Structure 1
Amino acid sequence: MIDGVKIDVPNLTGSEWLNCRLLDFYTYTNTKTGELLDGTIVAKYKGLKFFITKSKKYQNKTYCSIQGSLHKYFNKGKHNANDFTLYHLQKIIAELEQKFSVEPKTAILRNLEFGVNINTTITVNELLKNLVCYGNYTFGTLKIERVKVGKNISQQRTELKIYDKGKQYNLEVKNLTRIELAVKKMEFLKAYNITTLSDLVNINKIKPLGGLLLSYWDDVIYYDKKVNWKQLTPFERKKLLYYATPRNWEDFDRKQRYRAKKHFKELMHFYSTSKTHQDIAHLIAEKTEILTASFCPQINHDLHPKETALNVHELTVRIHSYNVDKNNTKMRNKKKVENPTKKRRVCCVCKTSISHKRTDAKYCSKKCNNKVNGVKRTKRKQRIRQTEIKLLNKLIPILYKNKLELIITYKTDEGIYSDSLQQKEILTTKFWVSKIKTVVVNGYRKNSKTILLTESRAKKLIIIVNKLNVKKLDNEKRI
């Protein structure tokens, strides 16, 4: 979830890092005098840069800061193409405090990047072609190390990035998409109360960032041309083609843009044969939940989580196809091995292959889906029926007390109605009993919960109550 950061570390003077054996500093100097040209020295370590800068305003004053990817630091500076969970982030921040004396509560965030890596059902190249705009901003080309990898929307306080993570690290996968939001000014996150490094391990502050990322994606105009054109009217065809042109969105004012976006989404909802935009939104929400989940080990497992090296080992084998030493994750002679075979995905009911469907698909057709859900509904109804039978058997022996309060719901041709009646007030016919749907019983015991009876159990209760009241009425007449 959390990736790039820029942090000011005010609790340090710089001597702590200079004396740290893990950091080797370098800078630009005057070859004659040895004077620092910009007053800054830099050290690189596992994807992070450590800066020590001399103040130009105050004598003998230095500023310490860190810049880089915490996700990449977690992977020993190699990549950030795997999942980086909240638990991993907590571990990295604790390591920064231990090794480099960075106090999380006083370390101030200046920039922040957060996003998710998702496996889309289409290639990233195809996805990028379908991006039209965001608001009145058209997408620009995103370059990382001079290589075109995706598209971005750069604003004053934020930058939205959508790019090919596989292309960035020369992976064989073609559908590993990175959707990321870079915050240039922390004022943008003022409502989330995220200011220091310690805030990044607060699950209540980090979880809403997933919703923020999802809202950005929802506002992206996505057009993939998979539309049933025959059903469109000539006017709707012209409007859809007009909306598919990025340049036209720049000319809209706020009200026009709101109406255009609403109309475009309606057209895509009714006539589009593809749900890629919605599917990606689902993947973002799902991955966010996974990455921000708190760590909870199973009771029958070791309480100590696996070492970071094991995660890197598994990812490196999959990405680079190298044989890796399991003990220290170093490559042995860099001999390539065959890619592990993918597990064949089949329908949960008929075992038909569903490799062509979405990654979260479980069934090959609606028929199999209905079959499974039908069994679940039957079991659920059986449980409800058994529970209600037990409750009804408890009520029958106490009906002679004549103290129950009943709320009876019945259905007629005119609609559904509810009546609140005392037990002694019920005198009805078989016709009205057949219309009863539910009965809510109050006053079963003092401070007891209400009892809900449905279908035949509700009708049986009313039949018994009705017989008791008729019998009591006959006895009174005889007297």
Structure 2
Amino acid sequence: MKFNVLTSIDTGELIGSKKAYYNGLEFTIEPKGKVKIKGSIHKYYNEGLHNGDRFTFDDFVKAVSLLSEFGVIPEKALLRGFEIGLNLDTTKSKIDTKGFLDSILYCRGVEGSDMEINGKTGYGYRFKTTNTTYKFYDKMEQACLQSERLRIETKFTKMRAVESFHIRTLADLMNKEKLSKLIAAKYVRFIDETIFFEWNQIKTPRRLPIKYRNKFRDLRNPDWWIKDDRCRKERNQNKKLLEKLIDKYAKRNIKTILKDLILLELQAFSRSKKGDRYTEFESLFFPNPINTNNAEKKGTNTPCIVWCDPADQREVKKEKRYCEVCGKEITHQRKGSKYCSHNRKCRDTAYNLKISEKRKTKRLKQEKEITKIIKEIGSQLQLVRTTNPKNKRNHPRGKPMRRTSIVVSANGRKRYFHGSAARFFIQEFEKKTESNDINPKTKLKSA
């Protein structure tokens, strides 16, 4: 290796540390003789090309052994920081890399920041805490790969974050038991604590129970999790509530898919190349059998089946359906049912909401039309306020009431407005008159 070092022009004395680069690693020799090595050991194993492929435990052990040619002794090589990262292949997953990145709602109580990858943003996010940094980003974009890769990293910026695992040297990372406990506690667990929410899966809270609708609008807002000051226990309760709603009302749970992808990759990471049987290291990660059906796309190239056993048809499970108002299961009701059948409360609630939306839309359209009339031809307006003596209705307290109506004459054309539309017209007309935008001679006449 060729080392570079600053040299004084006057005296020729060497100043500072010596530095050299080799296959993705940076070697620094300080004036007092201490040597520091920084970089990606994964990239070093690939001869400095990239670190976007799968890097197994066996590959890691082999890469450490290659460092011995530089005099590196794992038992004496002190760690000053390191990261654990997996490259997840999303080409065969139900969700692509962008879908995973867009669904990150909240992570470890800190506000995320965009990562700049190849001079562009929008391909990754970073969540920085006191001792650890968590990263989600598009590895295909960073390493210029041919297939999609989602990179998830846990970077330990300070070694006190792993003190309880008794990890101090490079040799400690080669200890299967220590490494497996570290990955389970600091990598897999942080994924479980992160909240993922796909907006398209629950676009509107109408299907949710009424008592959760207002709360749900806050839970799906990423700013609400960061800005709101609450204790950890309450934050965890809100997280469990959101995930409960996602499990029940969303078509899929993106966290479940992501965790299955991670388990598949960890399985490949820990498996020995000597055979297909489980190794001792792998059993530390997975004491129970893994069900990773959620991680892969469902599909087959098998020709269509034209015959089946009637007994199999009877065992087909019906797709569960729920009331759009209260969320109660209504699978037993006739096909096409949207609401509970035991009472009309849910149906009436839905009907009232529908009518209210229609009335609101109609009112906003009418108010927009009135504002436009006053603004465009306000100086030519002549208003006549009228009441119809025959159109009376009784007040709840017994007092008779009259319906307010106005006739608007503009450009020889008459327009009629009644009720709330008439009152809104008068209110806006008076505001316009007070601001002197309309000729003061134009007055509201009573008739």
Range into which the TM-score falls when normalised by the shorter chain: 0.5 to 0.7
CA contact (8 A) 2:260 2:295 kept: no
Deviations 1:82-140 (A, max 9, x none): 0011111111111111x101111111111111111112332322322211111321211
Name the SS for the 1:263 alignment partner.
Answer: helix
Measure, in 1, the Cα distance between the counterparts of 2:166 and 2:263.
Answer: 22
28 and 125 in structure 1: CA distance in 2 versus 1, 3 angstrom threshold: farther
Amino acid at match of 1:207: S
Measure, in 1, the Cα distance between the counterparts of 2:112 and 2:8.
Answer: 43
Aligned match of 1:246:
222
Measure, in 1, the Cα distance between the counterparts of 2:169 and 2:35.
Answer: 15
Deviations 1:401-443 (A, max 9, x none): xxxxxxxxxxxxxxxxxxxxxxxxxxxxxxxxxxxxxxxxxxx
Name the SS for the 2:154 alignment partner.
Answer: strand
Percent identity, aligned pairs only, is 28
Q: CA deviation at 1:290?
A: 1.5
Aligned match of 2:193:
219
Measure, in 2, the Cα distance between the counterparts of 1:208 and 1:154.
Answer: 22
Which of 13, 20, 24 aligns to 1:47? It is 24
Measure, in 1, the Cα distance between the counterparts of 2:272 and 2:137.
Answer: 28
Q: Structure 2: which 5+ residue stretches go unaligned? A: 278-293, 313-447
Aligned match of 1:338:
none
Amino acid at match of 1:107: A
Measure, in 2, the Cα distance between the counterparts of 1:146 and 1:34.
Answer: 39
CA contact (8 A) 1:48 1:66 kept: yes
Which is greater in Rg?
A: 2
Name the SS for the 2:235 alignment partner.
Answer: helix
CA contact (8 A) 2:197 2:254 kept: no
Q: Structure 1: which 5+ residue stretches go unaligned? A: 1-22, 55-60, 300-356, 376-479
User: What do you get for the CA RMSD once the two structures are aligned?
Assistant: 2.8
CA contact (8 A) 1:131 1:139 kept: no
Aligned match of 2:394:
none
Which of 83, 98, 105 aligns to 1:113? It is 83
Aligned match of 1:139:
112
141-150 vs 282-291, greater mean Cα deviation: 141-150
CA contact (8 A) 1:132 1:139 kept: no
CA contact (8 A) 2:51 2:143 kept: no
Name the SS for the 1:65 alignment partner.
Answer: strand
Aligned positions of 1:39-438 closer than 5 A: 39-54=16-31, 61-97=32-68, 99-120=69-90, 121=93, 122-144=95-117, 146-148=119-121, 149-173=123-147, 175-211=148-184, 212-225=186-199, 226-227=201-202, 229=204, 230-250=206-226, 251=228, 252-297=230-275, 359=296, 361=298
Measure, in 2, the Cα distance between the counterparts of 1:36 and 1:205.
Answer: 42
Q: CA deviation at 1:228?
A: 7.2
Q: CA deviation at 1:27?
A: 2.7
Count of matched residue pairs: 282
Measure, in 2, the Cα distance between the counterparts of 1:102 and 1:360.
Answer: 44
Deviations 1:165-208 (A, max 9, x none): 000022343x4100110001112112222211112222222222
Q: CA deviation at 1:143?
A: 2.4
249 and 182 in structure 1: CA distance in 2 versus 1, 3 angstrom threshold: same
CA contact (8 A) 1:158 1:182 kept: yes
CA contact (8 A) 1:228 1:271 kept: no
For normalisation by structure 1, the TM-score amounts to: 0.55
For normalisation by structure 2, the TM-score amounts to: 0.58
Q: CA deviation at 1:32?
A: 3.4
Measure, in 1, the Cα distance between the counterparts of 2:220 and 2:6.
Answer: 50
Measure, in 2, the Cα distance between the counterparts of 1:364 and 1:237.
Answer: 42
Measure, in 1, the Cα distance between the counterparts of 2:259 and 2:6.
Answer: 46
Name the SS for the 1:179 alignment partner.
Answer: strand
Q: CA deviation at 1:218?
A: 1.0
Q: CA deviation at 1:363?
A: 6.7
